[in-house]
């Protein structure tokens, strides 16, 4: 029987551990917590269910990239194969991994923002209304031209 493939969305809990086999192959391990939500018809709102714990293992380039990219508290999307259930945790062998963009921006090496993008955004100055003039009086440019003797 083939292992079942599943997709999980959860939050990384703790640090990512990386080790290397004797052949130099990277293996990383991290904990993931998924909190499913369920609609409560009586209260007419969403309720959090019991958290589900996963222990995820990734290999080779995926392990190296995960070690460099993941930190505690990051929401991720994981595609993997269930390899076992022990001690109230589901063990996953990770095939693919991505950072969820629901709560943050993620940049790739090719889409890194330029140093200009790091500058704070400043709103343009608000144009000030022209000097108040009496109704029916000439506009300000008229007075400026007149004062300059219509050169």
Walk along the chain (151 residues) and give the pLDDT tens digit of each residue: 566 889 999 999 999 999 999 999 999 999 999 999 989 899 899 999 999 999 999 999 999 999 988 999 999 999 999 999 999 999 999 999 999 988 888 777 777 666 666 566 666 777 766 555 566 777 777 777 777 776 5
Residue 148 phi, psi dihedral angles, 5° rounding? -85, 5
In words, the CATH class of domain 5-105 is: mainly beta
Domain boundaries of the chain, sorted by first residue: 5-105
- Round to whole Å and give the CA distance between 11 and 95: 17
| pLDDT of amino acid 95 | 95
SS3 letters across the chain: CCCCEEEEEEEEEEEEEEEECCCCCEEEEEEEEECCEEEECCCCEEEECCCEEEEEEEEHHHHHHHHHHCCCCCEEEEEEEEEEEECCEEEEEEEEEEECCCCCCCCCHHHCCCHHHHCCCCCCCCCCCCCCCCCCCCCHHHHHHHHCCCC
Residue 103 phi, psi dihedral angles, 5° rounding? -125, 5
Say how many C-beta atoms besides its own lie within 10 A of residue 8's C-beta.
19
- Round to whole Å and give the CA distance between 127 and 118: 26
| pLDDT of amino acid 82 | 93
| Region of 55 on the Ramachandran plot (φ > 0 left; ψ -120 to 50 alpha; else beta) | beta
């Amino acid at each position: 029987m083939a292992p079942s493939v599943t997709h999980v969305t959860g939050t990384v809990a703790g640090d990512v551990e990386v080790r290397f086999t004797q052949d130099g192959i990277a293996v990383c391990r991290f904990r993931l917590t998924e909190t499913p939500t369920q609609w409560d018809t009586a209260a007419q709102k969403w309720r959090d269910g019991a958290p589900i714990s996963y222990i995820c293992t990734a290999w080779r380039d995926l392990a190296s990239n995960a070690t460099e990219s993941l930190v505690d508290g990051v929401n991720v999307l994981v595609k993997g194969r269930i390899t076992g259930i022990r001690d109230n945790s589901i063990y996953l062998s990770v095939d693919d991994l991505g950072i969820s963009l629901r709560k943050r921006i993620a940049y790739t090496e090719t889409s890194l923002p330029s140093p200009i993008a790091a500058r704070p955004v400043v709103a343009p100055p608000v144009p000030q209304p022209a000097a108040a003039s009496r109704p029916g009086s000439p506009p300000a440019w008229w007075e400026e031209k007149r004062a300059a003797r219509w050169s």
